[in-house]
Amino acid sequence: MNIRPFHVAFPVTDLEATRTFYANVLGCKIGRSAERWIDFDFYHHQISAHLVDGPRPKPATNHVDGKDVPVLHWGVILTMQQWNELAERLTRHGVSFIIEPYIRFKGEVGEQATMFFLDPSGNALEFKAFANDASIFAT
């Protein structure tokens, strides 16, 4: 299957902190930018950080596998090796996790490695990995 890149735009309150976080911590290449937005290459997908004025509301959560998961979140499904490398990279950079890296639904259909953290503007990101990609949509 040939998956086309997705595009997502998201609000940020500090463009320079966003640039530093996505480029230096997550390792994203910087694309086009202007006074109030920056495009990033996010694992070969295009994400656009748009500057907003004022504070952001606290995100709602749902209880999943004993953890409070931010309802509004996004991220990428990585290979297990990429996921482990990212978890180590985030730890080295001192990123605080909302949900520490762990295996969710252990021993069940849909078992997955997952971790959640916030970017500098409070956007929740989840990165996950499956031992077998066939499990991604398994029921």
- How do residues 36-76 score in pLDDT, each as one tens digit? 999 999 999 999 999 999 877 777 899 998 889 989 999 99
**pLDDT the model gives residue 29:** 98
Place of tokens 């849909």: 110
Angle of CA points 42, 44, 45, to nearest 5°: 65
Residues 6+ apart with CB under 8 A from 78: 43, 86, 127, 128, 129
Q: What percent of the chain has pLDDT over 90?
A: 77
Q: Please compute, for residue 139, the number of CA atoms within 13 A of its CA located in the half-sphere on the CB side.
A: 0
Structural domains for the chain: 7-51 (3.30.720), 61-135 (3.10.180.10)
Strand-pairing partners, residue 62, are 69
Residue-level pLDDT at 1? 61
pLDDT tens across 97-116, in order? 999 999 999 988 889 999 99
**pLDDT for the residue 103:** 95
Residue 139 has pLDDT above 90, yes or no: no
Question: 12 vs 139, which has greater pLDDT?
Answer: 12
| pTM for the structure as a whole | 0.91
Residue owning tokens 């959560």: 61
Residue 90 is given by DSSP the state H
Query: In whole angstroms, what is the distance from residue 107 CA to residue 50 CA?
Result: 40
